[in-house]
């Protein structure tokens, strides 16, 4: 596990965290600018969860993340609204082991839910 906390890479952006997620086989880097966090994800292996996504859409934003106090209830609400779970609930090392899951809707795109 690699971590770099609050390293200023320029006068504009700080690196908050850099880490390898073995379960998802991705490298993750969180950047901060004016209180906003941006997560950069890159495949660490050919069979990572983002490898095919990068081939399809290229280097682009592909989902938005929401933190929720009612994780299971909110997953159920999204499933009822025709979202499809594309990854089961699993802990995320980049977010202090909190559970996350990804859901996708054909018209709304992908969302990530994170347990608060």
Structural domain boundaries of the chain?
Answer: 1-59, 62-116
Q: How many CA atoms lie within 13 A of 21 on its CB side?
A: 27
Bridge partners of residue 91, in order along the sequence:
99
The pLDDT mean for the chain works out to 88
CATH number of this structure's domain 62-116, picked from the four choices 3.30.1180.20, 3.10.180.10, 3.10.580.10, 3.90.1150.10? 3.10.180.10
Let me know: does 89 contact 99? Beta carbons within 8 Å: yes
The predicted pLDDT at position 85 comes to: 96
pLDDT at position 91: 96
1-59 under CATH 3.40.50.300, yes or no: no
Give the pLDDT of residue 52.
Answer: 86
């Amino acid at each position: 596990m690699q971590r770099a906390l609050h390293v200023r890479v320029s006068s504009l952006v700080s690196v908050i965290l850099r880490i390898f997620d073995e379960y998802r086989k991705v490298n993750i880097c969180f950047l901060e600018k004016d209180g906003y966090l941006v997560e950069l994800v890159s495949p660490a292996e050919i069979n990572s969860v983002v490898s095919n996504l990068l081939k399809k859409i290229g280097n682009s934003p592909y989902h938005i993340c929401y933190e929720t106090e009612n994780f299971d209830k909110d997953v159920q609400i999204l499933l009822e609204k025709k979202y499809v779970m594309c990854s089961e609930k699993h802990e995320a090392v980049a977010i202090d082991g909190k559970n996350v899951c990804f859901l996708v809707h054909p018209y709304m795109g992908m969302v990530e839910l994170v347990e608060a």
